[in-house]
Amino acid sequence: MAPPEAGRSPLSETHNLVVEFDPAPDAEWEEVEAALRRGLLHLAVHLADAALEVEPDAIEELTDPAAQSPDGLPRVAVVTNIQTQGRFKDVFVYGRSLSGGLATLLSPNELDDGAVVSGQYGHPALRNPTLLHQTHPVVAAVRECQDLHLAALVLCPEPVDQNAKELVSAHAARLCAAVGVDAAILTKEGGGNADADVTLKMDRLEEQGIAAVGVLPEMAGRDGTGPSLVVPPTKGVAMVSTGNYDERLTLPACERALGGDQVALLDRPATEELELPVAVVLCALSPLGWGRLTCHEEV
């Protein structure tokens, strides 16, 4: 991405490898997706192999969360909702979809080992690519904080029906209570209905006496005056905004575009100046809290 909107996606601050692909003419999209996902993992291994012998820039030692917190620090769970809404809307935990399942407890270190792989392609700005599951920004931020102890990672499906959302949320809160956490930070993936998966859990956690903070993008309309959330919490209050999905930004013309020549639906060359909603900028509203975007009333 080029300035001046560069700061809008954290991907503007990383070196990115863009893979272009041409599906075989008769291939089903399901097969293309599976091939692409496996291909990207192979590519990642290949790249990692090349780096294996290189002197590391930094070494971080991760310890397993102990049952007892050091020095009585508050015990924090990171509760990450994983999209489980069918083909092209699924995320895999050890190769399986959590669809139809319940919340599951993992050591946060399993993320670093690659337990979670994304197969989810909706809402570019609200996507959590595999890389971000492996380097989970909220997990990293809690680890870095000297005043908190990262006690657990809870992965939850985002079901496609209300009753299941309520069941999973209540269960996730009880799971957090069972492992004795004092507080939780919640993240999601995807658009409108996935708000409920965060805010219902905030409410159930607060009822258990567990302080809850939700990380949520807003859908406040083009002019920023619409309701920010589809389903606001009723008991929880503390939320961090990753920015308004609907706000427009202008991307200046550029010399070269990667990943395709045309911008879908706009029917315009990708190298032209484009006015677009933030919603289409990959990771711009990262629901895993990667980016620095926020949203507030200008007063």
Site for another protein in 100-159 (CB under 8 A): 122-123, 137-138, 140-142, 144-145, 147-148
Query: Quick one: which H or E segment has residue 275?
Result: strand 274-277
- Scan residues 33-72 and list those touching another protein (CB under 8 A): none
Q: How far is the CB of 144 from another protein (least distance, A)?
A: 8
Residue 19 binding another protein, by CB under 8 A: no
Question: Which range, of 7-15, 39-47, 63-71, 173-181, touches another protein by CB under 8 A?
Answer: 7-15
- Scan residues 255-284 and list those touching another protein (CB under 8 A): 265, 277-279
Question: Which range, of 20-28, 55-63, 105-113, 237-245, touches another protein by CB under 8 A?
Answer: 237-245
Q: What is the largest CA-CA distance in the chain?
A: 61
Q: What residues contact residue 272 under an 8 Å CB cut-off, 6+ apart?
A: 253
Please say which residue, 108 or 243, places its beta carbon nearer to another protein: 243
Beta strands in 19-148 (DSSP E): 75-83, 89-93, 96-97, 104-106, 116-120
Residue 180 binding another protein, by CB under 8 A: no
Q: How far is the CB of 132 from another protein (least distance, A)?
A: 10
236, 224, 226, 222: which is closest to 79 by C-alpha? 236
Residue 207 binding another protein, by CB under 8 A: no
Whole-number Å distance between alpha carbons of 294 and 48: 33
Whole-number Å distance between alpha carbons of 103 and 72: 26
Phi-psi region of 115 (alpha: psi -120 to 50; beta: other; left: phi over 0): alpha
**DSSP SS3 for 256:** coil
- Scan residues 68-97 and list those touching another protein (CB under 8 A): 74, 76, 85-89
Q: How far is the CB of 55 from another protein (least distance, A)?
A: 27
Query: Which listed residue (81, 118, 169, 286) binds another protein by CB under 8 A?
Result: 286
Whole-number Å distance between alpha carbons of 288 and 190: 11
Query: Which listed residue (131, 167, 211, 257) binds another protein by CB under 8 A?
Result: 211
- Scan residues 158-177 and list those touching another protein (CB under 8 A): 160-162
